[in-house]
């Protein structure tokens, strides 16, 4: 059965991931009274109704900065993304290999043991064989 405006007791809504830990970011804003189809709109029960005044407030519906906490719209800044340690290690390994290539190999030099150990540690973290590390090792000084 097709959704109609009767399925939405309010006109204006904010959507969010109902399974996410709160506070969580608002993922969409809907004016159900002004849409040509409601087929892809989440169910009203899965959103938070907002007032016409909130809808018309240009500072309220900014693309970023609003979240949902305990059924209320709140100011919200999403936490910074921290890549998994394995990804961090893979990125650091590319940088380390470039450094070793440019500062040792291309000059006909043998890399120092510090740089060899550092790369081995990064390899172990990036391929998952090192499951104990919680941070990357420090890059050698030279």
Kindly provide the residue ranges of all beta strands, DSSP E only, lying in the chain, ordered along the sequence: 12-16, 24-31, 47-50, 66-69, 72-75
* 56-65 pLDDT per residue, tens: 998 999 878 9
Same domain, 12 and 49: yes
Same domain, 13 and 61: yes
Same domain, 87 and 136: yes
The parent domain of residue 115 ranges over: 82-142
d(CA 30, CA 105) in angstroms, rounded, equals 58
Give the total number of structural domains in the chain. Answer: 2
Query: Per-residue pLDDT averaged across 89-105, rounded?
Result: 97
* 3-47 pLDDT per residue, tens: 989 999 999 999 999 999 999 999 999 999 999 999 999 999 999
Same domain, 52 and 104: no
Please identify, among 52, 75, 98, the residue that sits at the C-terminal boundary of a domain. Answer: 75
In a domain, 58, yes or no: yes
């Amino acid at each position: 059965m097709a959704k109609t405006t009767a399925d939405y007791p309010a006109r204006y809504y904010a959507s969010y991931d109902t399974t996410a830990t709160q506070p969580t970011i608002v993922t969409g804003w809907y004016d159900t009274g002004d849409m040509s189809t409601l087929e892809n709109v989440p169910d009203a029960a899965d959103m938070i109704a907002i007032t016409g005044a909130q809808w018309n407030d240009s500072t309220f519906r900014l693309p970023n900065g609003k979240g949902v906490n305990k059924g209320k719209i709140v100011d919200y800044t999403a936490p910074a993304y921290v890549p998994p340690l394995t990804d961090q290690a893979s990125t650091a390994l590319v940088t380390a290999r470039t450094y070793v290539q440019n500062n040792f190999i291309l000059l006909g030099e043998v890399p120092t043991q510090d740089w060899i150990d550092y790369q081995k540690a990064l390899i172990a973290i990036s391929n998952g064989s090192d499951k104990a590390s919680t941070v990357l090792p420090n890059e050698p000084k030279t």
